Protein backbone atom coordinates (compact mmCIF):
# COMPACT_ATOMS: atom_id res chain seq x y z
CA UNK A 1 0.00 0.00 0.00
CA UNK A 2 2.82 2.38 0.88
CA UNK A 3 4.43 1.78 -2.52
CA UNK A 4 1.16 2.59 -4.28
CA UNK A 5 0.86 5.85 -2.35
CA UNK A 6 4.46 6.79 -3.15
CA UNK A 7 3.97 6.10 -6.85
CA UNK A 8 0.75 8.12 -6.85
CA UNK A 9 2.57 11.03 -5.18
CA UNK A 10 5.30 10.89 -7.81
CA UNK A 11 2.79 10.87 -10.66
CA UNK A 12 0.80 13.76 -9.20
CA UNK A 13 3.91 15.81 -8.52
CA UNK A 14 5.35 15.28 -11.99
CA UNK A 15 2.00 15.94 -13.66
CA UNK A 16 1.52 19.20 -11.75
CA UNK A 17 4.76 20.83 -12.97
CA UNK A 18 3.95 23.51 -15.51
CA UNK A 19 5.89 23.17 -18.74
CA UNK A 20 6.95 26.81 -18.62
CA UNK A 21 8.32 26.65 -15.07
CA UNK A 22 11.94 27.67 -15.34
CA UNK A 23 14.42 27.73 -18.18
CA UNK A 24 16.69 24.80 -19.01
CA UNK A 25 19.67 25.97 -16.96
CA UNK A 26 17.46 26.59 -13.92
CA UNK A 27 15.96 23.12 -14.29
CA UNK A 28 19.41 21.53 -14.40
CA UNK A 29 20.43 23.36 -11.23
CA UNK A 30 17.18 22.40 -9.48
CA UNK A 31 17.51 18.80 -10.68
CA UNK A 32 20.99 18.54 -9.17
CA UNK A 33 19.90 20.04 -5.83
CA UNK A 34 16.82 17.79 -5.71
CA UNK A 35 18.77 14.67 -6.64
CA UNK A 36 21.44 15.40 -4.02
CA UNK A 37 18.71 15.89 -1.40
CA UNK A 38 16.80 12.74 -2.33
CA UNK A 39 19.82 10.44 -2.67
CA UNK A 40 21.39 11.64 0.57
CA UNK A 41 18.29 10.48 2.46
CA UNK A 42 19.35 6.90 1.79
CA UNK A 43 22.66 7.43 3.64
CA UNK A 44 23.17 6.64 7.30
CA UNK A 45 26.20 8.76 8.18
CA UNK A 46 25.85 11.37 5.45
CA UNK A 47 23.26 14.09 4.95
CA UNK A 48 22.49 17.01 2.71
CA UNK A 49 24.30 20.20 3.69
CA UNK A 50 21.48 22.71 3.36
CA UNK A 51 23.84 25.68 3.68
CA UNK A 52 25.91 24.39 0.75
CA UNK A 53 22.73 23.76 -1.28
CA UNK A 54 21.47 27.31 -0.63
CA UNK A 55 24.88 28.71 -1.62
CA UNK A 56 24.90 26.56 -4.78
CA UNK A 57 21.39 27.67 -5.76
CA UNK A 58 22.13 31.34 -5.00
CA UNK A 59 25.34 31.25 -7.03
CA UNK A 60 23.28 30.09 -10.03
CA UNK A 61 20.50 32.64 -9.44
CA UNK A 62 17.89 29.99 -8.60
CA UNK A 63 15.62 29.68 -5.57
CA UNK A 64 13.25 26.89 -4.56
CA UNK A 65 10.16 29.07 -4.37
CA UNK A 66 7.35 30.28 -6.57
CA UNK A 67 7.26 28.62 -9.95
CA UNK A 68 10.47 26.69 -9.19
CA UNK A 69 9.05 24.80 -6.19
CA UNK A 70 7.13 22.24 -8.30
CA UNK A 71 10.18 21.80 -10.54
CA UNK A 72 12.29 20.93 -7.49
CA UNK A 73 9.51 18.71 -6.11
CA UNK A 74 9.17 16.77 -9.35
CA UNK A 75 12.93 16.22 -9.63
CA UNK A 76 13.07 15.13 -5.98
CA UNK A 77 10.18 12.69 -6.52
CA UNK A 78 11.79 11.27 -9.67
CA UNK A 79 15.08 10.63 -7.86
CA UNK A 80 13.28 8.88 -4.99
CA UNK A 81 11.11 6.87 -7.33
CA UNK A 82 14.13 5.65 -9.30
CA UNK A 83 15.75 4.34 -6.10
CA UNK A 84 12.51 2.74 -4.87
CA UNK A 85 12.14 0.92 -8.17
CA UNK A 86 15.71 -0.38 -8.06
CA UNK A 87 15.52 -1.30 -4.36
CA UNK A 88 19.27 -0.77 -4.13
CA UNK A 89 19.49 1.77 -1.30
CA UNK A 90 23.24 1.41 -0.65
CA UNK A 91 23.87 2.27 -4.32
CA UNK A 92 21.76 5.42 -3.87
CA UNK A 93 24.03 6.54 -1.06
CA UNK A 94 27.09 5.67 -3.15
CA UNK A 95 25.68 7.81 -5.97
CA UNK A 96 25.02 10.68 -3.57
CA UNK A 97 28.65 10.60 -2.43
CA UNK A 98 30.05 10.09 -5.92
CA UNK A 99 28.06 12.96 -7.44
CA UNK A 100 27.57 15.39 -4.53
CA UNK A 101 29.93 14.33 -1.72
CA UNK A 102 33.07 16.16 -0.60
CA UNK A 103 34.83 15.25 -3.88
CA UNK A 104 31.61 15.02 -5.91
CA UNK A 105 31.89 14.76 -9.69
CA UNK A 106 28.72 16.81 -10.29
CA UNK A 107 28.71 19.41 -7.47
CA UNK A 108 31.10 18.83 -4.61
CA UNK A 109 30.15 19.47 -1.01
CA UNK A 110 26.35 19.19 -1.11
CA UNK A 111 26.42 15.92 0.86
CA UNK A 112 28.49 15.98 4.05
CA UNK A 113 29.27 13.66 6.96
CA UNK A 114 26.74 13.89 9.78
CA UNK A 115 28.30 15.20 12.98
CA UNK A 116 29.15 12.45 15.44
CA UNK A 117 31.91 14.19 17.34
CA UNK A 118 34.60 12.26 15.44
CA UNK A 119 35.57 14.86 12.86
CA UNK A 120 36.07 18.60 13.03
CA UNK A 121 34.67 19.10 9.51
CA UNK A 122 31.35 17.28 10.08
CA UNK A 123 28.01 19.10 10.19
CA UNK A 124 25.84 19.00 13.30
CA UNK A 125 22.42 17.48 12.50
CA UNK A 126 20.50 20.48 13.86
CA UNK A 127 22.09 22.69 11.19
CA UNK A 128 20.67 20.52 8.42
CA UNK A 129 17.46 22.41 7.82
CA UNK A 130 15.36 23.33 4.79
CA UNK A 131 16.35 25.66 2.00
The tens digit of pLDDT for each residue in 55-102 reads: 999 999 999 888 889 999 999 999 999 999 999 999 999 999 999 999
Residues of 30-67 as b/e, b for ≥16 C-beta within 10 angstroms?
Answer: bbbbbbbbbbbbbbeebbbbbbbbbebbeebebebeee
Exposed/middle/buried for residue 131 (C-beta within 10 Å: 0-12, 13-18, 19+):
middle
State the pTM of this model: 0.72
Domain spans of the chain, in order of start: 2-127
Cβ atoms of 95 and 32 closer than 8 Å: no
- Taking the C-alpha atoms of residue 97 and residue 108, their distance in angstroms, rounded to an integer, is 9
Amino acid sequence: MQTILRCAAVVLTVASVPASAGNDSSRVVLDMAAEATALSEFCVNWAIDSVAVRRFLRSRGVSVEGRYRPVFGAAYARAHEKVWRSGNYPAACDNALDLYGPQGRQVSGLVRPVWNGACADCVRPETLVGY
